[in-house]
Structure 1
Amino acid sequence: MPPASEPLRKLGFLTIGLFDEADPRAGHESTLRVIELGEQLGFDSAWVRHRHLQYGISSPVAVLAAASQRTRRIELGTAVIPLGWENPLRLAEDLATVDLLAGGRLNPGVSVGPPTRYDQVRDALYPDTADVEDFGYERVRRLLSFVRGESATATGATEGFEVFSPRVQPHSAGLSDRMWYGGASLRSARWAGEQGMNFLTSSVIKAEEPQEGAGGPGPEAPAAPEDAAGADDDGGAAAATARFAALQLAQIRAFRARHPAGDRARVSQGLVVIPTDSATSEQRSRYEEFARKRLPRTASPQGPGRMLFAPDLVGESERIAEVLHAHAAFREIDEVAFALPFTFEQADYVQILTDIATRLGPALGWRPATP
């Protein structure tokens, strides 16, 4: 077993919050119960994913507002809000409001780019401005300026009994320090660092080799154990894990090289991790089949964007810990938000989260938060 990485300081999880179109309330309620369980188990953070025109959470800020009233300690994050669907000023108002209601526990993660399936949705989303909307980094800059309390208008004013503020209200002090950028490329990593944001890196990144002096991966990372979760007979998953880890490490280092805080800049890693310590034999078989079906996509970059997927980690916590201790990118960070598979049942999430909190987390040097 390779030398252990630094003890894990913050342990979180990510859920998509699926629901049945015929009964959407039940799905949202299930998501809230998962977040409540996370707090009970001592997790440091719970994150929700964003989905539009699908059967997943379309309004994560609203869901987290509800979660803030059913929890007291756990941090609440979005991973991520695609800003192509949002007005930055209005979103800044919502984020500040929920952060105040949560007592300063909100961690908004955002990303840029055209909305998914933009050709189909553009007329409904931007009927008058679809051809001139800017879906680049400027949208994040606008959001950051409003969250930081910079002026939205030239001046405040009083008109009769109405008093107007020059900046977005309410203002939540400290929220700007908890803004995250979800990036998958070296360009995004560098940009997020230059803006002083925190960085979310997931199980999907762009397959691109860093240029010399651009925060490369350094010495070759040790390969993951060949019998790691999801591995096939010839060690394909181990090789894919090592390849992914090296590229992800390059992005983390590129981010920190441009960040004012340097090596202290916050990075959260989001791999799909499924411990099976307390799983039933039926659950274990189903989890392994889930990972096996998804493994082929990790063999090479996918699509025109050359996106590289990390193999899912399925197995006993002790073995997953070995894989992570050998993972070049994991060794560089001290906080994670492990992603829950999208299509599992509530009982599966309870088992997985319980094993992460009671078995895997301690094996990574993590200690649960106290009530």
Structure 2
Amino acid sequence: MKKIGFLSFGHWSAAPHSMVRSAADALLQSIELAVAAEEAGADGAYYRVHHFAQQLASPFPLLAAAGARTSRIELGTAVIDMRYENPLYMAEDAGAADLISGGRLQLGISRGSPEQVIDGFRYFGHVPPEGTSDADMAREHTKVFLEVLKGEGFAQPNPRPMFPNPPGLLRVEPHSPGLRDRIWWGAGTRATAEWTAEQGLNLMSSTLLSEDTGVPFHQLQAEQIQRFRNAWEAAGHNREPRVSVSRSIFPIVNDLDRQLFWQQRDSTDQVGWLDGGNARFGRTYAGEPDKLVAELAEDEAIAAADTLLLTVPNQLGVEYNAHVIESVLTHLAPELGWR
């Protein structure tokens, strides 16, 4: 069995053919797509977080609202840029959203990715200490966040509080038990995947790796996953980790599919320059179901992961994206042994 969900960037635009023309459209349709995906039998609704962009940016109100409208589907992020986060405030928001959903949050976090503005985290009041980098700051924020999620008291209580305190040091409230084990790290390299395992975090790997060894994307990603699993075993953690990969998959089953994605049927990996080094971008899978079944059966990274996130073109609207998700679940998943 493989969990299958969707990943939405939540773009909005006033472009003529966009079905998502405002921030309100993006947020409300994101909730509706979670409902539709659950009804179709999908396992997860995940949202990207980008600041200073016409895309989804504030995940916790969205996750809480989606949690209140659904009952079974996992709700997550892929990913939250920890350079921007106040870890204690984030722990409060995450705890509240997780409790509203009944413990269904799966939070993907990371050190961040290329931004819309220069050092945008500085506008949020976060500046790396002297002699450290923004990546160091992100990992320090993560360390504090993970520690707080344990639910242990650390704050000295006021001897004259407004309300009676429980005995001992106080923790951040609300606390949601079990959330610490449902935090994922978005790793862009093999080395970062090993660090992820050492921290006891689940692994999230997207359609982009910020390194390239010359092998096909899915093989490089499969090596990343294996290194993660080896490091997890060496660290001696007492639970089984989870691993997700993202893919753009579009079964062509009707004329509209053909009109939208026929040009992607011969897609290949791409290699580009990103943040000072080579990066490899994974291909798009588009075509008739029998063709996709044969191609996806060769994808080593999907085979190695327990969770597959389908990147959806959200500006095409809820109805069409629900159709894409249902097409994968109906036409591909059974044939590939995923469901």
Alignment of 1:40-189 (within 5 A): 40-113=39-112, 116-117=115-116, 119=118, 121=120, 124-126=123-125, 129=127, 132=130, 134-153=136-155, 155-163=156-164, 166-189=170-193
Q: Is the alpha carbon distance of 1:48 and 1:287 closer, same or farther for their aligned partners in structure 2, counting shifts above 3 Å? A: same
Distance 2:74 2:201 in 1: 17
Map of 1:270 onto structure 2: 246
**Preserved CA contact (<8 Å) 1:18 1:27:** yes
Alignment of 1:229-244 (within 5 A): 243-244=216-217
TM-score normalized by structure 1?
Answer: 0.79
Distance 1:191 1:120 in 2: 24
Q: 2:8 aligns with which of 15, 38, 43?
A: 15
Q: Is the alpha carbon distance of 1:123 and 1:267 closer, same or farther for their aligned partners in structure 2, counting shifts above 3 Å? A: closer
Asked whether 1:350 is paired with 2:328, we answer no
Q: Secondary structure of the equivalent of 1:139?
A: helix
**Preserved CA contact (<8 Å) 2:265 2:287:** no
Alignment of 1:31-46 (within 5 A): 31-46=30-45
**Preserved CA contact (<8 Å) 1:19 1:26:** yes
Map of 2:312 onto structure 1: 340
Asked whether 1:258 is paired with 2:257, we answer no
Tell me which moved more, 12-21 or 140-149. 12-21
**Preserved CA contact (<8 Å) 2:88 2:148:** yes
Cα deviation for residue 131 of structure 1 reads 6.0
**Preserved CA contact (<8 Å) 2:26 2:56:** no
Q: Is the alpha carbon distance of 1:359 and 1:158 closer, same or farther for their aligned partners in structure 2, counting shifts above 3 Å? A: farther
Alignment of 1:194-209 (within 5 A): 194-209=198-213
Q: Secondary structure of the equivalent of 2:326?
A: helix
Tell me which moved more, 133-142 or 99-108. 133-142
**Preserved CA contact (<8 Å) 1:110 1:181:** yes
Cα deviation for residue 246 of structure 1 reads 1.4
Matching residue's letter, 2:228: F
Instruction: Quote the sequence identity (%).
Output: 30
Cα deviation for residue 118 of structure 1 reads 5.2
**Preserved CA contact (<8 Å) 1:275 1:316:** yes
Map of 1:323 onto structure 2: 295
- Alignment length (residue pairs): 322
Cα deviation for residue 36 of structure 1 reads 0.4
Q: Is the alpha carbon distance of 1:188 and 1:75 closer, same or farther for their aligned partners in structure 2, counting shifts above 3 Å? A: same
Map of 1:289 onto structure 2: 263
Distance 1:160 1:151 in 2: 16
Q: Is the alpha carbon distance of 1:136 and 1:64 closer, same or farther for their aligned partners in structure 2, counting shifts above 3 Å? A: closer
Map of 2:197 onto structure 1: 193
Q: Secondary structure of the equivalent of 2:10?
A: coil
Tell me which moved more, 337-346 or 87-96. 337-346
| Offset from partner CA, 1:171-227 (integer Å, 9 cap, x none) | 111111111111111121011100111101111012245xxxxxxxxxxxxxxxxxx
Q: 1:247 aligns with which of 193, 206, 220?
A: 220
Q: Is the alpha carbon distance of 1:123 and 1:88 closer, same or farther for their aligned partners in structure 2, counting shifts above 3 Å? A: closer
Distance 2:263 2:63 in 1: 32
Matching residue's letter, 1:316: E
Q: 2:273 aligns with which of 298, 302, 314?
A: 302
Q: Is the alpha carbon distance of 1:130 and 1:42 closer, same or farther for their aligned partners in structure 2, counting shifts above 3 Å? A: same
Distance 2:84 2:304 in 1: 33
**Preserved CA contact (<8 Å) 1:112 1:139:** no
Q: Secondary structure of the equivalent of 1:258?
A: helix
Cα deviation for residue 263 of structure 1 reads 10
Q: Is the alpha carbon distance of 1:300 and 1:103 closer, same or farther for their aligned partners in structure 2, counting shifts above 3 Å? A: same
TM-score normalized by structure 2?
Answer: 0.86
**Preserved CA contact (<8 Å) 1:92 1:146:** yes
Distance 1:315 1:263 in 2: 38
**Preserved CA contact (<8 Å) 1:206 1:307:** yes
**Preserved CA contact (<8 Å) 1:157 1:163:** no
| Offset from partner CA, 1:302-358 (integer Å, 9 cap, x none) | 332322100100112332222222112122223211211354344431221120122
Cα deviation for residue 68 of structure 1 reads 0.7
Q: Secondary structure of the equivalent of 1:170?
A: coil
Q: Is the alpha carbon distance of 1:308 and 1:258 closer, same or farther for their aligned partners in structure 2, counting shifts above 3 Å? A: same
Matching residue's letter, 2:218: A
